[in-house]
């Protein structure tokens, strides 16, 4: 048989649903016999319900939802920063993971919502640079698929004719090892591959009519030897664009130390 003191000691345990079954039963039994304790329990319960109700309604949920949305975006950005922390920085430009591509293709809407703010950056990279990077990276694996394009080969001859004899097959210690016509971003491009038995450089040649240099690059050109170049650096590759006559030439390499501008200059053999 429980006395008042024992019952009251368990009051908050009972209220918070933390009391054991045995204790709960014994307290209930005591309350059925003791009106004072019963009244005490009742008031404590009312206070609790009152507080819970007030707490739940403040702040008003409608006012908070805007805050929560902006908070969600801020957190997303922070998480993005952590995700891209491992990218090595060069020339201070922003780095993008190829994680972006997979994130976009992931079906989960919730991910799209959470990464809403950074999606535009990722989409840009995915759209503009990733296809070229992939095409370049693929060469290492698929070199055999590329036509033998050393000077004297039919492919190279045809190209040279097409471009009016402005191509060299030996550039800065790299020799032309292969080439093929590829469709990248829906546009047919000549894809030449140079190798120095260590690094690979891809040279993409495309007509101005069919390809535009991405606008964010146009704002950040550099002049080298009187020619305007446009750079894109990221963790994957280094891309350099420039125009010559009716053509746009894009060189790509994974080797960030390679002076692509000089490479570009040299290949044109002017």
Partner 1 sequence: MTDRTTQIAVQKRKSFETEALPHMDALYRTALRMTKNEKDAEDLVQEAFVKAYRFWDKFEIGSNCRAWLFKIMTNIFINDYRSKSRSPMAVNVDDIDDNFLYGQLATGDGPANPEKELFNKIFDDDVKRAIENLPDDFRLVIVLSFLEGFSYQEIADITDLQLGTVKSRLHRGRKLLQKELFDYAVKNGYVRG
4 contributes a contact to partner 1 by CB under 8 A: no
Contact range with partner 1 by CB under 8 A, out of 26-34, 98-106, 138-146, 221-229? 98-106
For partner 1, the binding residue among 25, 28, 29, 51 (CB under 8 A) is 51
Q: Give CA torsion, residues 231, 234, 238, 242, to 10 deg.
A: -20
Give the Cα separation of 87 and 236 in Å (integer). 9
CA angle 161, 163, 169 (to 5 degrees): 80
Q: Beta strand 187-195 with 221-224: parallel, antiparallel or unpaired?
A: unpaired
Question: Considering only residues 96, 114, 126, 156, which one is a binding residue for partner 1 as defined by CB under 8 A?
Answer: 114
Between 108 and 270, CB nearer to partner 1: 108
The CB-of-76 to partner 1 minimum distance in angstroms stands at: 9
Place of tokens 């640079």: 129
Residue with tokens 């004297």: 152
The verdict on 69 binding partner 1 (CB under 8 A) reads: no
Figure out which of the listed residues 23, 24, 90, 98 binds partner 1, where binding follows CB under 8 A.
Answer: 98
Please list every residue from 191 through 250 that binds partner 1, using CB under 8 A: 235
Q: Which is nearer to partner 1, 18 or 228 (CB)?
A: 18
| Among the listed residues 4, 33, 43, 209, the single contact to partner 1 using CB under 8 A | 43
User: Quick one: tokens of 27?
Assistant: 């307290």
Residue given tokens 């050393």 in the structure block: 150
Q: What is the largest CA-CA distance in the chain?
A: 109
User: How would you list the strands of the sheet with 174-184, edge to edge?
Assistant: 170-171, 174-184, 187-195, 200-207, 247-253, 238-244, 227-233, 221-224
List the one residue from 6, 33, 79, 259 that touches partner 1 (CB under 8 A): 79
Given the complex with partner 1, which of 118 and 169 has the nearer CB atom?
118
How far apart are the C-alpha atoms of 205 and 149, rounded to whole Å?
Answer: 15
Using the minimum distance from each CB to partner 1, give the nearer residue, 37 or 265. 37
Binding positions for partner 1, rule: CB under 8 A: 8, 11-13, 16, 18, 39-40, 43-44, 46-48, 50-52, 54-59, 64, 67-68, 71-72, 74-75, 78-79, 82-83, 86, 97-99, 102-103, 106, 108, 110-111, 114, 235
């Amino acid at each position: 048989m429980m006395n008042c003191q024992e019952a009251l000691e368990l009051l908050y345990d009972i209220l918070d649903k933390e009391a054991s079954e045995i204790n709960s039963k014994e307290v209930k039994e005591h309350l059925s016999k003791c009106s004072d304790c019963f009244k005490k329990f009742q008031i404590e319960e009312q206070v609790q319900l009152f507080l819970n109700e007030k707490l739940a309604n403040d702040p008003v949920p409608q006012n908070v939802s805007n805050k929560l949305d902006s908070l969600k975006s801020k957190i997303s950005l922070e998480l993005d920063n952590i995700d891209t922390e491992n990218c090595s920085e060069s020339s201070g430009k922003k780095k993008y993971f190829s994680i972006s591509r997979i994130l976009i293709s992931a079906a989960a809407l919730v991910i799209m919502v959470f990464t809403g703010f950074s999606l535009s950056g990722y989409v840009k990279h995915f759209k503009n640079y990733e296809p070229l990077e992939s095409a370049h990276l693929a060469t290492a694996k698929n070199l055999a698929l590329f036509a033998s394009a050393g000077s004297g080969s039919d492919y190279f001859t045809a190209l040279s004719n097409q471009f009016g004899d402005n191509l060299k097959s030996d550039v800065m210690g790299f020799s032309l090892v292969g080439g093929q016509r590829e469709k990248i971003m829906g546009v047919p491009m000549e894809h030449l591959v140079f190798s120095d038995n260590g690094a690979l450089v891809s040279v993409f040649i495309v007509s101005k009519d069919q390809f535009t240099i991405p606008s964010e690059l146009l704002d950040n050109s550099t002049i080298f030897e009187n020619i305007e170049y446009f750079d894109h650096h990221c963790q994957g590759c280094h891309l350099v664009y420039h125009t010559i006559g009716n053509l746009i030439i894009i060189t790509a390499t994974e080797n960030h130390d390679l002076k692509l501008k000089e490479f570009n200059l040299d290949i044109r053999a002017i």
